[in-house]
Copies of this chain bind each other. A is one copy, B any other.
Amino acid sequence: MSRVGIIGAGHGVFGRRSDATVQELAFEAFRLAIKDAGISRDELDATVVAAVPEYHKQRSVAGVVQEYLNLNPKPTWLTEVACASGSAAIRTAWMAIKSGLHQVVAVIGCQKMTELATAEILALMGRVGEVQWESIFGTTFPGYYAMFATNHMHEFGTTHEQMLQVAVKNHFYGAKNPNALFRKEIQLDKAMASDPVASPFCVYDCCANADGAACVILADESRAKALSKKVVWLDGVGCATASMSVLRRPNLVGLPSAVEAGQQAFRMARVAPRDIKVAEVHDCFTIAEIMAYEDLGFCKKGQGGKFIEEKRSYIGGEVAVNVDGGLKAKGHPIGATGVSMAYEIVKQLRGEAGERQVPDANVGLTHNVGGIGQYTFVHVFRRD
């Protein structure tokens, strides 16, 4: 079986980027990625763009990105699965290469979220839940995840303090990431005292919308080896879905799609959860990271609260999780997030993560959730 490798990665600054259009954000990351790969744009066969279209005034974003990057007439298309769009694009590029159709493909995740007013964004986000039966009751995204939190507390005795320890960790590392939106550490007592959002969540339980872009360049085995001395291999791709309606889920203490996608990716890459040294998981809310520990098998179901409390997801623990700050501190430009996760794993596996480097990181993972778990994509990366 031939492999697919990542030969370049680039990342822009996440934040309120009123200085740039969405195509300019895309260029920022793309420029760094092709420079990192040491290739020119002419060596690309195609691009796959990840973005959630409805946040942009500009419709059909792939078209303006392709033009602005001066990549016409090369093929492009866009993938969308809410907050997991970036990982769907990586999966698509992986398939394009494995199929033999293309040899070198750039994946560009880009999103401007600040073109719209906050109320508009909240309304749009609520409608990533099931519209016909659920969002008519005024569901919001924090509200959905708060239900997971309360169920997890009830079922396993998880505490709000444990949840906020996720935020403390992610801010601790985010402070070391020059591309992060929030580059400051926070203290648990201050986090506990922040304004309420949706019980039990307060402000520090929630990630922040942001503008930004990230880019990774994938190549087939022969081109990857020819072009790069530091290839990171994408050896496992997993994707699974669950019902959009939370009403139809078996429980609200985990994401069945994450369990299934993780198992697929582990199986394909022939690794076990304990082999993962560094992981990027989808911490849109603090409880989501706790559930990810469990769903991915880093600990048993119900033990996620203890896992963070005992700092087992810090560098030096069993698996270093979200050491780029995660969605929480880095910010969450929804179309870019999955690609940003892959960027971090590439840097980590190449030993180029600077202050936030995980020692001896040779196998890494991304866990990217769309919506409230109706999609999860898990990818396993390896450095030989």
Residue contact B98 to A100, C-beta cutoff 8 Å: yes
Residue contact B60 to A128, C-beta cutoff 8 Å: yes
Q: Given the known A-B contacts A98-B101, A100-B98, are A59 and B124 also in contact in the complex, defined by CB atoms under 8 Å? A: yes
Segment 215-242 of A: residues with Cβ below 8 Å from B: 237, 239-242
Residue contact B237 to A71, C-beta cutoff 8 Å: no
- Contact of A200 with B by CB under 8 A: no
Residue contact B57 to A80, C-beta cutoff 8 Å: no
Copies in the complex: 2
Say how far A98's CB is from chain B's closest CB, in angstroms: 4
Q: Find A82's partner among B60, B67, B127, B243 (CB 8 Å cutoff).
A: B60
A67: chain B residues within 8 A (beta carbon): 130, 241, 243-245, 248, 374
Residue contact B77 to A240, C-beta cutoff 8 Å: no
Q: Given the known A-B contacts A53-B54, A58-B132, A375-B77, are A99 and B88 also in contact in the complex, defined by CB atoms under 8 Å? A: no
C-alpha gap A66/B241 in the complex (Å): 8
Name the residue on B nearest A82 (C-beta).
B60
Say how far A77's CB is from chain B's closest CB, in angstroms: 4
Residue contact B98 to A375, C-beta cutoff 8 Å: no
C-alpha gap A72/B250 in the complex (Å): 12
Name the residue on B nearest A98 (C-beta).
B99
Say how far A244's CB is from chain B's closest CB, in angstroms: 4
Residue contact A79 to B81, C-beta cutoff 8 Å: no
A374: chain B residues within 8 A (beta carbon): 60, 63, 66-67
Residue contact B131 to A58, C-beta cutoff 8 Å: yes
A147: chain B residues within 8 A (beta carbon): none
Q: Which of A89-97, A173-181, A189-197 contacts B (4 or more CB under 8 A)?
A: A89-97
A74: chain B residues within 8 A (beta carbon): 240-241
- Contact of A254 with B by CB under 8 A: no
Segment 95-132 of A: residues with Cβ below 8 Å from B: 95-101, 124, 127-128, 130-132
Segment 60-90 of A: residues with Cβ below 8 Å from B: 60, 62-64, 66-67, 71-82, 88
C-alpha gap A66/B248 in the complex (Å): 13
Say how far A274's CB is from chain B's closest CB, in angstroms: 24
Name the residue on B nearest A375 (C-beta).
B63
Q: Find A101's partner among B46, B124, B237, B256 (CB 8 Å cutoff).
A: B237
Chain A contact residue count (CB 8 A cutoff): 59
Residue contact A370 to B79, C-beta cutoff 8 Å: no
- Contact of A294 with B by CB under 8 A: no
C-alpha gap A375/B81 in the complex (Å): 21
- Contact of A52 with B by CB under 8 A: yes
- Contact of A260 with B by CB under 8 A: yes
C-alpha gap A79/B79 in the complex (Å): 5
Q: Given the known A-B contacts A63-B371, A72-B242, are A81 and B92 also in contact in the complex, defined by CB atoms under 8 Å? A: no
Q: Find A241's partner among B75, B100, B127, B128 (CB 8 Å cutoff).
A: B75
What are 16 A-B interface contacts by the 8 Å CB criterion?
A58-B131, A59-B131, A60-B80, A60-B81, A60-B128, A60-B370, A63-B81, A63-B82, A63-B375, A66-B244, A67-B130, A76-B81, A77-B80, A78-B81, A98-B100, A101-B237
Interface residues of A (CB under 8 A from B): 21, 46, 52-54, 57-60, 62-64, 66-67, 71-82, 88, 91-92, 94-101, 124, 127-128, 130-132, 237, 239-245, 248, 256-257, 260, 370-371, 374-375
